[in-house]
Amino acid sequence: MSIKSTTRLLFIFSICLFYRTSNAQLKDELGAIHGNFQIDAANYQRDTIIGTPELEGKTFRYNAFGNINYQKGGFSAGVRFESYNPPMLGFLDGYKGSGVPYRFARYQHKDIDITVGNFYEQFGSGITLRAYENRGLLYDNALDGMRVIFTPKKGIVLKGLVGKQRTYFSLSEGVVRGVDGEVNLMELFDSILGKSKTKVILGGSFVSKYQQDQSPTLVLPENVGNSAGRLTIIRGGFNFNAEYAYKINDPSYENKNSYKEGQAIIASTSYGTDGFSIMLSGKMIDNMSFKSNRDMQTPTINLINYQPDFSKFHTYSLMAYYPYATQPNGEVGGTGEIQYKFKKGTLLGGKYGMDITINGSSYYALDTTGLNQSQDSIRHLKYSTNYGNVGEKYYHDFNIEITKKLSKKLKITLMYANQFFNQSLVRFGTPNKEEHPDVSSHIGVLDITWRYKTGSSIRFETQGFFGEYDYKEHKYDANGDKNITSNTGSWISGLIEWTPTTHWSITVADQYNYNNPVEIKRVHYYFGMIGYTNGPTRVSISYGRQREGVFCAGGVCRQVPSSSGLTLSISSSF
Amino acid sequence: MKKLLILSSAIILSLSAFTTGDGDKIPSANVKKLDGSATNSNTFKNDGKPMIISFWATWCKPCKKELDAINEEYAELVKETGVKLIAISIDDARSSGKVVTDVKVKGWTYEVYIDENQDFKRAMNVNNVPHTFLVNGDGEIVWSHNSYAEGDEEKLFENVRKLAKGEKLAH
């Protein structure tokens, strides 16, 4: 950001500030102004050992955004300024630049809710439509257009929208149109069913995208429809959710121009009571990637829908060393979880109780048969799916977590996981297992918090990632070095976080790749951070090497890219 | 590097002037109850008593630590001040199914809503979770705090007690 634009930004904030401190009565009449902002800036250093990318003189990088919102009664409006010049390492270069990619005006009155400009929305589980933002990941596919939410009667919600998707600082080529309806039977038939303990909610959605066919060789569908129906049943602690979706043929870069239809079935059920819960979810998704630009190659850009992922979202960094995400062209699998709380005063519960969580996931490729040209000359399906079976394994994760408070001052968490990760298919999209071997791993975590006086604590955390890789023998490259690209061996890590007062936190950490098969890659990822929090404002300065992943420190969890250097982070709201 | 310094000092200077929660009402946004029914944040009420609004997620350890720490004193605090805690889960489709089981197993008696589309999070200008707000008896947001450090709940309890007595909060 140049000094000029910084000044401009400060000027805008000063006006808001002046307005906010002005006469309260005036404000009641004129409405409220609020906002927030976050700036993450880094000065990177070249680090050939951990392999930071070539920076070409652009060692100073930042991601910044600021929202200003206005609200008076049912009317609200807002803008977001964003600047990435250039974006920090690990984020898409397409975001380079500054601008106002988000602005909206919204009016809500009784049964009607109208938004013009940008908006976020989700239909059901998101399998037909999800316009979503995650600022930490710099994922933003807001729609720019118009949305109407109409509640004609208690228990009925109807939504209609049309718009183009955000694509960096411009808009997608394709147009997205969608409708969604949801009926809460107990609320709708209040007089007959109002007293029923069982709640039943039915929903349906239809989303269509339009993109011109400009292909010289293929005849492409210009309008592609994706529809879904869903059901929710809730009774006491029991919860059941299911959704089925069907998408017509939608050849794209992602599915290698297959004209096959897409299908998905997603279901989850859970039961919870005081101190005990069980959850099971399963899904089968086939060819449901749905993008507003069929030629888009970047996986996270122009996605209209979201293919739900139920695998455990790990926040301990080595547990998330090989994070899994739903495979865009299809998968089958499920996740289950049991939580149990040993009550205070029981044998295992002791004086303060003990929590235990057991979680397991398994995901597989679909069992498909490739179709050859002669079989497939008319419909161009490319493959057929054998729904009764599963294909190659993508991922599994079985983990157990125990949390116990030992005394008023001491709390301990122990966690173990066994994971399997099919690197070649899931991360690199190639069957080449020699270069990208499958990984089986045992991961352990010990996390101790010692609250030595009110408002002051020390947290100690240690983790170990012990990986076993297929294909241990590798080829040698031209220099005679062992050519191992995706085998990083095992890791151990340690972290100490000192919170002398509730405002300050000081963290030092090290992650050590102690038995990387390539000796010079046996490196330490040291890291230090000082954080300051006051009310809604948080400032932190950190220095060191950072592996990519979810990182939690100083009480906040955020997604961070891999880097080496000095980082400053400021966020606040007003 | 120079730019970084200018930028940070400018921002810190401007920040020092900001305060939160200067008495505005809770903005209106669509959220879901745990029984799946749709509702709006403008229905949050506590009969003239203070309210705590806490943004959390099932994957956020500090959030759960904070809510657990509050839970240990919650029953007493409710008796003493009449406070109500409203927990807003920002879990998206990946984990929103876990909200209800987490709440049950933890034995939290808070009023819990799911903000799956993050409408309310945006309306309240929340950057990261946990983020906790205090609302006074007149329904005005008067205090907020981002992140959680062990012991932060003590300050929150103190502020709730002040609000219950009708005192003003210092920032």
Between CA A342 and CA A400 the distance in angstroms is 15
* Cβ distance of B11 and A309 shorter than 8 Å: no
Helix (H, G, I), strand (E, B) or coil at B74: helix
- B3 vs A60: CB contact, 8 Å cut-off? yes
Amino acid letter, residue A462? T
CB contact under 8 A, A574 and B28: no
Judge: B147–A554 Cβ closer than 8 Å, yes or no: yes
C-alpha closest to that of A16 among B101, B9, B17, B117: B17
Q: What is the pLDDT of residue A554?
A: 41
Asked if A303 contacts A237 with a C-beta cutoff of 8 angstroms, the reply is no
pLDDT at B171: 58
Q: A residues 8-47 near B, CB within 8 Å?
A: 10, 13-14, 17, 20-21, 24, 27, 32, 34-36, 38-39, 41, 43
Q: Quick check: B150 and A276 CB within 8 A?
A: no
Contact B93 A125 (CB under 8 A): yes
Is the residue at B40 inside a domain? yes
Find the closest chain A residue to B108 by CA distance.
A274
| Number of alpha helices (DSSP H) and beta strands (DSSP E) in chain A | 5, 30
Interface test with B, best of A399, A502, A540, A552 (most B CBs within 10 A): A502
> Would an 8 Å CB–CB cutoff place A84 in contact with chain B?
no
Q: Collapsing DSSP states into helix, strand and coil, what is residue A236? A: coil
Residue of A nearest to B59 (CA): A313
pLDDT at position B24 is 83
Alpha carbon of B62: minimum distance to chain A alpha carbons (Å): 5
Asked whether the CA dihedral B10, B11, B12, B13 is positive or negative, the reply is: positive
Backbone angles phi, psi at A437, to 5 degrees: -65, 155
Q: What is the pLDDT of residue A140?
A: 92
What CATH number is associated with residue B61?
Answer: 3.40.30.10
Sign of the CA dihedral running B106, B108, B112, B115 = negative
CB pairs under 8 A between A and B: 238
**Residue A540 forms contact with B (CB below 8 Å):** no
B 17-46 residues with CB below 8 A of A?
A: 17-20, 22-25, 27-28, 30, 35-38
* 3-state SS, one letter per residue, for B69-120: HHHHHHHHHHHHHCCEEEEEECCCCCCCHHHHHHHHHHCCCCEEEECCCCHH
Q: Quick check: B125 and A275 CB within 8 A?
A: no
Confirm whether B151 is domain-assigned.
yes
Q: Are the beta carbons of A413 and A445 closer than 8 angstroms?
A: yes
Which domain range does residue B65 map to? 21-164
Within-domain flag for B35: yes
- Nearest-by-CA chain B residue for A23: B22
Strands (E), A256-376: 262-273, 276-286, 330-342, 354-370
Give chain B positions within 8 Å (CB) of A309: 94
Chain B hits for A71, Cβ within 8 Å: 27-28, 123
- Residue A440 buriedness (CB in 10 A; 0-12 / 13-18 / 19+): middle
Both structure tokens of A118: 């940008």
Are A10 and B14 inside 8 Å of each other by CB? yes
Residue A557: what residue type? C
Question: Which tokens sit at A12?
Answer: 């805008």
Which residues of chain B make contact with A27, given a CB cutoff of 8 A? 24
Whole-angstrom Cα distance, residue B101 to residue B71? 16
The answer to the question of residue B1 being in a domain is no
Q: Measured between CB atoms, which of A71, A201, A456 is closest to B27? A: A71
Rounded CA separation A125/A105 (Å): 26
C-alpha span between A387 and A370 (Å, rounded) = 14
- Provide the chain B residues 54-93 that lie in CB contact (below 8 A) with chain A: 58-62, 92-93
Kindly determine whether residue B95 and residue A157, on different chains, have CB atoms separated by under 8 Å.
no
Residue A421's DSSP bridge partners are A395, A439
Tell me whether residues A132 and B144 touch, CB distance under 8 A: no
What residues of chain B score a pLDDT lower than 50? Answer: 16-21
A interface test, pick of B5, B7, B56, B168 with most A CB neighbours within 10 Å: B7
Out of B20, B117, B127, the one facing A121 most closely (by C-beta) is: B117
pLDDT of residue A555: 45
- Give the pLDDT score at A47: 79
Query: Is A552 touching B (CB cutoff 8 A)?
Result: yes
Nearest CA in chain A to B7: A6
Q: Is residue B100 part of a domain?
A: yes
Q: Give how many domains chain B has, as a whole number.
A: 1
Specify if B86 maps to a domain.
Answer: yes
In the numeric block, the tokens 């102690």 are attached to: A514
A234 in contact with chain B, both atoms CB, cutoff 8 A? yes
Q: ipTM value, please give it.
A: 0.87
DSSP 8-state symbol, A421: E
| Distance from the B64 Cα atom to the nearest Cα atom in chain A, whole angstroms | 11
CA A305 to chain centroid:
13
Which of A519, A511, A543 is CA-nearest to residue A319? A511
Nearest to A6 among B6, B95, B129 (CB): B6
Place of tokens 């808001």: A16
Give the pLDDT of residue A557.
46
Domain assignment present for B130: yes
With an 8 Å Cβ cutoff, are B94 and A313 in contact? yes
Alpha-carbon dihedral sign for residues A517, A523, A524, A527:
negative
Instruction: Tell me whether residues B119 and A120 touch, CB distance under 8 A.
Output: yes
pLDDT in tens, chain A (574 residues): 455 665 666 666 666 666 655 555 566 678 889 999 999 999 998 877 776 667 777 899 999 999 999 998 889 999 999 999 899 887 888 999 999 999 999 999 989 999 999 999 999 999 999 999 988 778 899 999 999 999 999 999 999 999 999 999 999 999 999 999 999 999 999 888 878 889 999 999 999 999 999 989 889 999 999 999 999 999 988 999 999 999 999 999 999 999 999 999 999 999 999 999 999 999 999 999 999 999 999 888 999 999 988 888 888 989 988 888 888 899 999 999 999 999 888 888 888 889 999 999 999 999 999 888 888 888 889 999 998 899 999 999 999 999 999 998 999 999 999 999 998 898 888 888 888 889 999 999 999 999 999 889 999 999 999 998 886 656 666 666 655 667 888 999 999 999 999 899 999 999 999 988 888 888 899 999 999 999 999 999 999 997 765 454 444 444 556 678 999 999 999 8
Six-digit token string for B49: 């008593």
CB contact under 8 A, B3 and A1: yes
The CA distance from A541 to A550, in Å, is 18
Residues in a beta bridge with A416: A400, A444
Closest among A447, A111, A146, A128 to B65, alpha carbons compared: A447
Rounded CA-CA distance A96/A87 in Å is: 6
Q: Can you give the pLDDT at residue A14?
A: 64
Q: Which chain B residues are within 8 Å of A272, Cβ to Cβ?
A: 100-101, 103-105
Q: Which positions 371-390 of A are in contact with B (Cβ < 8 Å)?
A: none
